[in-house]
Structure 1
Amino acid sequence: MKVKSVRTIWISDLHLGNKDCKAAYLLDFLKNHDAETIVLVGDIIDLWSLSSSHYWPESHNQVISALLERAHNGCRLVYVPGNHDASVRNFVKFDFGKVEVRSRYTHTSAAGKKILAMHGDEFDTAVCHSRLTSIAGDVGYDLLLFINRWWTRMRNKMGFSYWSLATYIKSKVKTANIAISRFENAVAQFGRKKGVDAIVCGHIHHPAVKMMDDILYLNDGDWIENCTALVEDFDGHIQLLRWTETCSVLINAPQLANQSVKKHADKAA
């Protein structure tokens, strides 16, 4: 596959240090894409997992090395920490070896769209009614990932491509869908308050691109279940990609860039 040059990449929820991180797919994605800017939208290193399990294979080193190599070769690398790497927030506005650490990051697309990136854990109170329900959700999700890990191993042995059982099960759970909807609405409302055209987040491991009235909601997904990334080309068009054995474009929305250009033109008039 020929290396594709793009303007911007948003990825999040890599969870390096976690047994469920799909580092091999991520390395292949990075190998096949060059970008002017890469925005890491939180949960890059899973400090929660590392606190209880010393899991760090060579492939996770290779991911870090690949990202740092891009930064030293001229790619702008912006790191917006999440809840699993929250301690990095103590170093906001610091630059570490050409890595910019920011609490939030606003990007201007080639189409003139103001796109705010933030991890999304800031909206947990809009999704969970109490700390107890949040803990219960974490435990349930860990079980889902455990099941998904063994499901993936069985599919590999049978010669099938990757398919997330965890994502399928979540899609059938009514309370999970309600929580996702609440999260998306809270993110969109925050974006409106900030006066941006679009907002990128991760956190909930549910990739999506959708217009929510007057704002574009973008969730770049994760590299635990979905292996997804958001990519902007040099015309300002944004795609949501899934990168497994069967790489595909989940959503291709060039019309959204055109809408954004018209919106800015109307404002200027």
Structure 2
Amino acid sequence: MASTQDMGVRRFGRVNWLGMWTLAAREVRRFMAVWSQTLAAPLITAGLFLAVFNLAIGPSRGDVMGVPFIEFLAPGLLMMTVIQNAFANTSSAIMVAKVQGSIVDTLMPPLSPLELLLGYLAGGVGRGLVVGGVILLGSVLFLGTGVAHPLWLLIYVILGSTMLGSLGIIAAIFANKFDQMSAISNFIITPLSFLSGTFYSIDALPPVIRTLTHANPIFYLIDGVRFGVLGVSDSSPWLGLLVCLATTGAVMTMCWRWFKSGYRLKA
């Protein structure tokens, strides 16, 4: 009769809940320990964006999609901040570990590729949810915005955090130096975030650029959060949900495969 080990069942069960929980808790504690940088700074940055745009063009700008411009802007800034922080959390965790040589401390314990992925993503999603919650609270208190569809808002914030958290893992595994990591962030993530309808409705764009925008998955994240907060959107939230689920599934699968093979992680 085959032993339990021969059947591929680890001595602590098919899922290492303790190990995965420990990694997730470490990632959450890591960003909470420097809350002034990871939580307070994004709130201040989003507030500055709103203040500058409101002072510069807010009074002279008419309604956008039937809502005041400053209210239209708030959900886009919320999601842009969420995804940037989710990306930063996972990418910095792995990049620092690789540069310091401590990545082996995470790879050595009996954690499967999926458990490693979920553990790292817990930090990115947790940071995204906390940052999003703080900015949403600020929008409600200072702008008087409500939440039209809370469930849609929560779904898109979790999806956005998961998608960009996974992209952060991919970027950190691929990069060998902080310069390469900065290049990925500056030339890929930031442009995709800014050109996703955060500051404008895509109806104002020329047809060719509007079509290209629809190929940007971050556009659907921004649009979905706007629908969740304001109840208006440039595209169907169901279409956005489908695109975001497919994109998130694809990047998570790539993360899993790289963790499984040890690509650029194992010497």
TM-score when normalising by structure 1: 0.28
TM-score when normalising by structure 2: 0.28
Where is the strand percentage greater, Structure 1 or Structure 2? 1
Larger Rg: 2
Where is the helix percentage greater, Structure 1 or Structure 2? 2
